[in-house]
Amino acid sequence: MDEETLRRLAIWRFEQGDSPEEIWPSLGRSRSWFFKWLGRYRTAGPAALTGRSRAHRSDPHATSAGLRDQVRLVRVAHPRWGERTIARALASPSHATVGRILRASGQTRPGRERLVPPTRYPRLDPTAALELLEYDFFGPRWISGFGRVIGYHTMDIWSRSVCLGAAGNRLQTTQLGYWIDLLQRFGIPKVVQTDNEFGIPNAALARGRPLFTRLTRFFLIIGIEHRFIPIGEPFRNGHIERFNRTYRYDFYNQETFRDLDHLVVRQRAFEQFFNERRAHGGIGYAVPASRFPAARPRLRADFQIDLDRLALVEGRVSYVRRVDSEGVIRILNDQPVQLDPTLAGDYVTAVVHTPELDLAVLTVDGEVVRARRLKQSTMS
């Protein structure tokens, strides 16, 4: 956690009612540190928490302007000389300093072109809020004297706003309860991206029945596309994975909880702090709430649905996969799909259109490629 975030967290906890004697020891700071920043905050507001520069007005070790000019002139006279040759010719400064001078003046040669192009990935780039959410679990963790707790974390990628929940299990019905609450107060997204843990239940896998989970069926009923990242590549959900680390360091490890209800209350307060007061570097150090519209589609407050009887309705479920050396990808309940072997090593997006279960496989450029159709009887 950086120093500025630590200060804002300390002030936020103080305003939430925590005593100074609880705050500064848990943050690893002194009593004088806490009251210094509290005093500045009361005098000048949130802007005072950014601190003041301690940089010297001048750097006594900076390379002189005359020496920098010499380096540039030698490079002009000998354009093929490298930084080490120039440093030897001038006897001073070091070759590393010569390199910095040349880079600053734009006198370096471009790097060699890569002979092997990098593998491209079909990444979604949202241009507005609620176009793409990433969803993941946090934990499990254990509360002393209570038991296991699991965090349910979702982030809107465009605004970096989060919606948090917690429960004692990962059951499908528990997840659906979290999502109904999310859709009512956070909004209805177009796409929810998860890892494959949220795909097919282990029990169904053992029986050889490639069924959609109730979570996926629920998304389809609401009109949401469920998108699965490649198997074994959790970094493709990097935004929510990075938030989980922030959540652990800035919130969970800083407090002691009595039980699940106490965690949920404090978690909701941290969610508000993260969304409405914490500047986020991923969006130009803006506050996430500033990019999240107040007017947005939400699930009705009186929404009701039988969670035990979720029909497979019209919609789409997508799977991002990397084609193996034999031109095969696996989706749903480990079902193989044969593609052109020349696509080996490339990423593709397999889109299953429900309820007919028609399959379309797209390249990174959006081109439809031929794929062996999955049998209807194995996908009910």
d(CA 261, CA 258): 8
Query: What pLDDT, on the 0 to 100 scale, is given for residue 260?
Result: 95
259: Cβ–Cβ under 8 A, 6 or more apart, which residues? Answer: 143, 145, 146
Query: What pLDDT, on the 0 to 100 scale, is given for residue 1?
Result: 67
DSSP 285-304: SB-GGGGS-SS-----TT--
What does residue 284 show for φ and ψ, rounded to 5 degrees?
Answer: 75, 30
d(CA 191, CA 223): 9
d(CA 339, CA 324): 10
- Specify the pTM: 0.71
Query: What pLDDT, on the 0 to 100 scale, is given for residue 376?
Result: 44
Give yes or no for a cis peptide into 189 (omega within 30° of 0).
no
Query: What pLDDT, on the 0 to 100 scale, is given for residue 204?
Result: 46
283: Cβ–Cβ under 8 A, 6 or more apart, which residues? Answer: 159, 160, 291
Average pLDDT per consecutive 10 residues, the chain (380 residues; last block may be shorter): 85 90 89 91 86 69 85 90 86 85 84 67 95 96 93 97 96 94 96 86 48 90 96 93 93 92 95 93 92 92 89 94 93 86 94 91 93 54
d(CA 246, CA 1): 8
Q: Are 350 and 369 in contact (CB under 8 A)?
A: no
Query: What pLDDT, on the 0 to 100 scale, is given for residue 210?
Result: 46
Query: What pLDDT, on the 0 to 100 scale, is given for residue 201?
Result: 54
For 132-291, the fitting CATH number among 3.40.50.2000, 3.30.950.10, 3.90.1150.10, 3.30.420.10 is 3.30.420.10
Query: What pLDDT, on the 0 to 100 scale, is given for residue 373?
Result: 60
